[in-house]
Amino acid sequence: MDITQQTIQQMDHAHRATLINSLPGYKCLQLVGTTGINGHSNLGLFNSVVHLGASPALLGMVFRPKSADHDTLSNIERTGFYTFNNVTGSFLEQAHQTSARYPSGFSEFVECGLTEFFIAGFDAPFVAESTIRIALTLKEILPIKINGTTLVIGEISYISMNDALIATDGYIDHGKAGTITTTGLDSYFEAQHIARLSYAKPGLPLKRF
């Protein structure tokens, strides 16, 4: 099948959204925790998280155009703090349910049956059920003019995980962590490890380890 730009533009909106969302393949899946203006905890499911750099340690996240019933971005803008929490198969349904459009003032932790907890000095909730949890401090917000989306850039300020998940060289084993991945907006997968490969250099064979 060949799909042209004109064909894409003429597609039904829902069909086009499903196609383009699933087109890039497997994506990172994170529950994003923030604190609302009235002090309640907010939680949303995102698949638009990207690595931006290690020094400083930066992660980016793309938000769709603003809407009145989505509080995550406004909470980040107001407090400057938020968390990323991985999703495992043991609470997939609860995590997926956080994508429902609950009215402002409702906590997705309560509505979806997940457990929140805080660390001292950081004004955003973590997900207790997650096996890898990341605290981020807002560094930059970049509007993307072409489609009205927003790139939010945060610096990692704290990481919480079991010692057994991280190797001596810093590699994090998401297989052991039970981290699941996604394509599109509603399809989830368990990742199967194939191999780690040695650093690629011209003329040298790769090694698996």
pLDDT digits (tens, 9 = 90+) for 26-55: 999 999 999 998 889 999 999 999 999 999
The three-class DSSP label of residue 13 is helix
The three-class DSSP label of residue 145 is coil
Mean pLDDT of 135-139: 98
Mean pLDDT of 13-32: 91
Mean pLDDT of 79-100: 97
For domain 25-190, say whether CATH 2.130.10.30 is its number.
no
Q: Is the pLDDT of residue 88 over 80?
A: yes
The 10 Å CB-count burial string (b at 16+, else e) for 7-27 is eeeeeeeeeeebeebbeeeeb
> Hunting for tokens 């905890």 — which residue is that?
41
Q: Is the pLDDT of residue 153 over 70?
A: yes
Q: Is the pLDDT of residue 69 over 80?
A: no
As a whole number of angstroms, the distance between CA 89 and CA 85 comes to 13
The two structure tokens encoding residue 13: 């909106």
Residue 209: the pLDDT is: 87
For the chain, the domains span 25-190
Helix H or strand E segment including 161? strand 149-161
Q: Is the pLDDT of residue 66 over 60?
A: yes
As a whole number of angstroms, the distance between CA 131 and CA 161 comes to 6
Mean pLDDT of 138-148: 95
Q: Is the pLDDT of residue 119 over 80?
A: yes
Mean pLDDT of 138-157: 96
Residue 67: the pLDDT is: 60
Residue 21: the pLDDT is: 86
Return the bridge partners of 86, or none: 30
- What's the whole-model pTM score? 0.93
Q: Is the pLDDT of residue 80 over 60?
A: yes
Residue 164 CB partners (closer than 8 Å, separation 6+): 176
Residue 68: the pLDDT is: 53
> Hunting for tokens 């939680």 — which residue is that?
43
CB 206 within 8 A of CB 194: no
As a whole number of angstroms, the distance between CA 114 and CA 30 comes to 14
